Structure 1
């Protein structure tokens, strides 16, 4: 049976493991980051014409802070279907989903022609500047970091051993920062030849770029930046490797 290493944070790591198991793929969880809710001085919800959501972690952090109720009736613009689904589950009444990328989210928000400013609850470490991207469209964005993803300082001993002994058929990576952290934690233990042959299943080219910079060269890309596409990639890869 194919055995993959899942690096995304909890609780998403467990959800991914369950989906892999349903496909007949075994997995080991080794989150390289964990979420920490910040204590921001958030602006009042009134006056905002929309809210941008680029991560389910932002929704979880807002829930931790007890501020979701005030924002639920504001039109929400989610980066992808999964984030949109989570927003609806948490009670947002108007949710539009982009196609999984920041560029598609910018387009979706720009086309909405909002009559006022946009609120953006973000992570402390931004992979893209939503405010700058929307500025040419004349839209003001108020960005408030509500969570931080804390990098792990090491991989579990059994995971490091498994990597050096080629026990994992591949590694699943969902963000550029997680790829950077994984590469940093693994690179001192893996010789160059193992780095070159270890399959890295990546959500996007942006994720893959961080691995290529660290000499991981066996890169597989999802057709679309979504969990469904990652599962399709994992299944196709497992079937190719096992001949099933």
Structure 2
């Protein structure tokens, strides 16, 4: 009896992140297609840090890379969202970088309990949470700078569009609410998605825009971070 055809997983993060994940999945026998729904664009050419600064906040690896390219300081404590962001920070010379948890709320709690009172947040243009306001309510000052933007890339490449319409892709991964909104808008046309396509969202909020697509199922990762998403991909694929 012939085995069932294994369908591919669609990765929608920016290209560098998707390629790294696709390589890891390939080692486990999971085929991935890539459609980066957004691309990271730098917005700042220079950066001046306040002299009273005593800590850094990173909510993504993109923020780490943008900061590292503009500022030479590596001596400040760095609190990060997620293990991957902390790993990237350590690789770029922030030896004391720590993962404070999977989301902005966990980061705010860790920052407020750290004893530090003036942080710098290297952020993107579109933020899921107002970290500065969250910490101001806890008596912690945050200086922030918008260093990059995640800009929409456009419609799917022809091979990806064909795979989505033919059923060759069985699972689409959405890594933020904005990700999901772009995917839902781009793939709303009748026939754009083959029956049986399943969705995997990083959070319940990210899953909401997918309701209009009529997917076979939508799974929410157990935690809003990359490790939980990778574990869910393995389980579903």
Normalised to the residue count of structure 2, the TM-score between the two structures is 0.90
Select 2:38's aligned residue among 27, 33, 39. 33
* 1:227 shift after superposition: 2.3
Q: CA deviation at 1:8?
A: 0.6
| Number of residues of Structure 1 aligned to a counterpart in Structure 2 | 232
By how many angstroms is 1:190 displaced?
A: 3.9
- 1:224-235 correspondence to structure 2 within 5 Å: 224-235=223-234
| Structure 2, unpaired ranges of 5+ | 1-5
CA distance in 1 between counterparts of 2:121 and 2:234 reads: 35
**What is the CA-CA distance between 1:196 and the residue it aligns to?**
7.3
Deviation at 1:40, TM superposition (A): 5.6
- Whether contact under 8 Å (2:123, 2:145) holds in the other structure is yes
Which residue of the partner structure matches residue 144 of structure 2? 143
What do the CA deviations read for 1:1-25 (whole angstroms, capped 9, x no partner)?
A: 3311111102100011011112211
Partner Cα distance (1:129, 1:210) in 2: 21
> Out of 5, 8, 25, which is 1:3 matched to?
8
Contact 1:163 1:190 in 2 (8 A): no
Aligned twin of 2:3: none
Could you report, residue by residue, the CA deviation over 1:70-111 in whole angstroms, capped at 9, with x for unpaired residues?
2x1111010111111111111113222122111111111111
Change (3 A) 1:125 1:21: same
Taking only aligned residues, the RMSD between alpha carbons, in angstroms, comes to 1.9
Q: Secondary structure at the residue paired with 2:113?
A: helix
Q: What is the deviation of 1:189?
A: 5.1
Show the counterpart of 1:242: none
In the alignment, what sits opposite 1:96? 98
In structure 1, runs of 5+ residues without a counterpart are 239-244
In the alignment, the residues of structure 2 paired with residue 93 and residue 207 of structure 1 have an alpha-carbon distance, to the nearest angstrom, of: 32
Which sits farther off after the overlay, 196-205 or 17-26? 196-205
Moved more, 128-137 or 205-214: 205-214
Indicate the structure with greater helix content. 1
